[in-house]
Amino acid sequence: MSDAAAMRAALDLYLLPSHLRLQRRAPIPGDVHELLLVATGDEATTRSMAQTLERSPDTLQRAARFFIEEILLDPQSNSYRVFGLEPDAPQDELRRNMYLLAKLLHPDYGLHPLSQHYAARINLAWNDLKTPDRRAEYDERNKKDGYSEAGFMASHGGSRSRQKAGSTHGPHHLRQPNVKTRFVDWLRRRAFGRS
């Protein structure tokens, strides 16, 4: 078991959503795989994290899902960040995290009303990275801008000026409500106990 850095970051974000901008700029912790396991309901990992962090499994799962929605699946994230990994990550780690994200977004889990949007986002990122040739092409395409600055939309035909949250520009399957709307919805769910 690692030091639970990703789960700690998810809890911090869940409890203080006002830190969203800071967290989006921060590097992704190295143990996102454990966070994905918690989000998908892996009992052993969730139990271990709950004991380590002294939080309920339900709180950990909600925090992990919130982190995935707001940090990994952010429109500004590059294809590697979508999977919670760095560009030098081995192919098997990409595949492993892709599997967990796909499992989480399966209709049986009911992650979010925007599950189809998130699934499309993950599929586009996976198409960039699924083979060594595509990965090399993606790396070359993004080398000039740098991964953290280029973002996902820029690498898929969008411009940075059109990437503001809630923008109606760009591919329709990548549109999403703005952060304020999502935050208000999140507060309502939390206050009234709706998932």
pLDDT tens per residue, range 11-24: 999 999 999 999 99
Total tally of structural domains belonging to the chain: 1
- Gap between the Cα atoms of 62 and 156, Å rounded: 30
Query: pLDDT tens for residues 139-182?
Result: 998 886 655 444 544 455 444 333 444 443 434 444 455 666 67
DSSP string, 89-123: --HHHHHHHHHHHHHHTSTTT---TTHHHHHHHHH
Query: pLDDT tens for residues 69-88?
Result: 999 999 889 999 999 999 99
The candidate with the shortest Cα–Cα distance to 149, out of 135, 163, 129, is: 163
Tell me the C-alpha to C-alpha distance, in Å, between residue 34 and each of 8, 45, 71, 105. Answer: 11, 7, 15, 17
Which residue range forms the structural domain that includes residue 102? Answer: 5-192
